[in-house]
A and B are shown apart, each in its own frame.
Chain A
């Protein structure tokens, strides 16, 4: 009787251990895919969500953008760049308006949002008139509408984020192979 109980107990313990390992594998696969994307695209953030309406009617809040940041692609006017201003953590998605490139390859450029009346000089740091390659997170190469709304909702309503994470965790643990 006691041996029957102990084998039952070790079986369910083993099953739980197996589920936890499964969960760990899914998380690390997702991380590997993300890191792989970072390497292929050359960008530290290969997928971004549009947060403002400054590029309407092309992009609206919640659209997803796919970025690349390859060194072999020089920055040219008309391109849509995602850049970060020194001291601010939220990146901005705007279009390149002017570039001046020196012989040695050093580029300084100016950006403007399609939906803005003026260029971005007012947004840059005090005394900064141009952006440089180091400020660029990536160039937008592809886009999918609406999908990023989930990320915005999770940011604005933390309870929603916890609910989603909890449900995901529950699903993975309960799911039978």
Chain B
């Protein structure tokens, strides 16, 4: 059973590591372009896969993915007089041989009214372990990351909104043996 990784800074990568690292996926929003008034961008880097015993749940060997990402978001337009807080979350959606649809929340954050609405997060590790139900991450080219949020009003409807713009993170075909984060 692999011990949980410590949250030290990422070690510099040596070129001749075992395992295949996926190339950095193309950025859907180029830095200088004028997007819609709500700018949010999620940039993941080098997803890697391992196959370990799922120590958080059923004791079978499942794929464990590692993704590091940046998030730039301007949430000011979402807050109005009836918004108490936003529950922001980054989720990965993909399908595998075992399951037609998988959705895993990788990271979440509560933004209260009054907090700084501009987020500039770099080199974030996933908050939750990205375990698959089975071995479906290896070689999976169609893992899509989406930023969504749940608006919690002072009183009223609780809408779930998905941000526009998805980022695809293809997983490599082999497992990473050495430390990742």
Interface residues of A (CB under 8 A from B): 57-58, 76-80, 95, 97-103, 108, 110, 114, 119, 121, 129-130, 140-145
The reply on B140 being an interface residue by CB < 8 A is no
The reply on B148 being an interface residue by CB < 8 A is yes
A101–B102 touching, CB < 8 Å: yes
B87–A58 touching, CB < 8 Å: yes
Interface residues of B (CB under 8 A from A): 56-58, 84-85, 87, 89, 91, 98-105, 110, 112, 128, 133, 148, 150, 152-158, 160
Q: A99-B101, A99-B103 are in contact. Are A77 and B155 (CB under 8 A)?
A: no
B112–A100 touching, CB < 8 Å: no
Q: Which residues of A lie under 8 Å from residue B105 when comparing CB positions?
A: 77-78, 97-98
B89–A142 touching, CB < 8 Å: no
Q: Which residues of B lie under 8 Å from residue A108 when comparing CB positions?
A: 133
What 8 additional pairs, Cβ within 8 angstroms, besides A57-B112, A99-B101?
A57-B84, A77-B89, A77-B103, A97-B104, A97-B128, A102-B98, A140-B158, A142-B157
B103–A80 touching, CB < 8 Å: no
Give the complex CA separation of A118 and B99 in angstroms. 25
CB B49 to nearest CB in A, in angstroms, measures 17
Q: Which residues of B lie under 8 Å from residue A121 when comparing CB positions?
A: 56-57
| Choice from B91, B100, B148, B152 contacting A58 with Cβ under 8 Å | B152
B157–A100 touching, CB < 8 Å: no
A98–B156 touching, CB < 8 Å: no
B155–A143 touching, CB < 8 Å: yes
B56–A76 touching, CB < 8 Å: no
Count, A-B residue pairs, CB within 8 A: 77
Closest 9 CB pairs of A and B: A101-B101, A77-B103, A100-B133, A100-B99, A129-B57, A103-B100, A58-B152, A142-B157, A99-B103
Give the complex CA separation of A26 and B133 in angstroms. 52
7 contacts across the A-B interface (CB closer than 8 A): A57-B85, A57-B112, A77-B104, A78-B160, A102-B98, A114-B110, A129-B57
Q: Which residue of A lies closest to B96 (CB)?
A: A100
B155–A78 touching, CB < 8 Å: no
Give the complex CA separation of A100 and B101 in angstroms. 6
| Choice from A79, A129, A144 contacting B160 with Cβ under 8 Å | A79
| Choice from A57, A101, A140, A141 contacting B100 with Cβ under 8 Å | A101
A58–B104 touching, CB < 8 Å: no
CB B152 to nearest CB in A, in angstroms, measures 5
B103–A57 touching, CB < 8 Å: no
CB B112 to nearest CB in A, in angstroms, measures 7
Q: Which residues of A lie under 8 Å from residue B112 when comparing CB positions?
A: 57
| Choice from B85, B100, B102, B150 contacting A78 with Cβ under 8 Å | B150
Q: Which residue of B lies closest to A127 (CB)?
A: B58
A58–B85 touching, CB < 8 Å: yes
Q: Which residues of B lie under 8 Å from residue A144 when comparing CB positions?
A: 155-156
CB A89 to nearest CB in B, in angstroms, measures 25
CB B111 to nearest CB in A, in angstroms, measures 11
B104–A98 touching, CB < 8 Å: yes
Q: Which residue of B lies closest to A145 (CB)?
A: B155
Q: Which residue of A lies closest to B104 (CB)?
A: A98
Give the complex CA separation of A103 and B98 in angstroms. 9
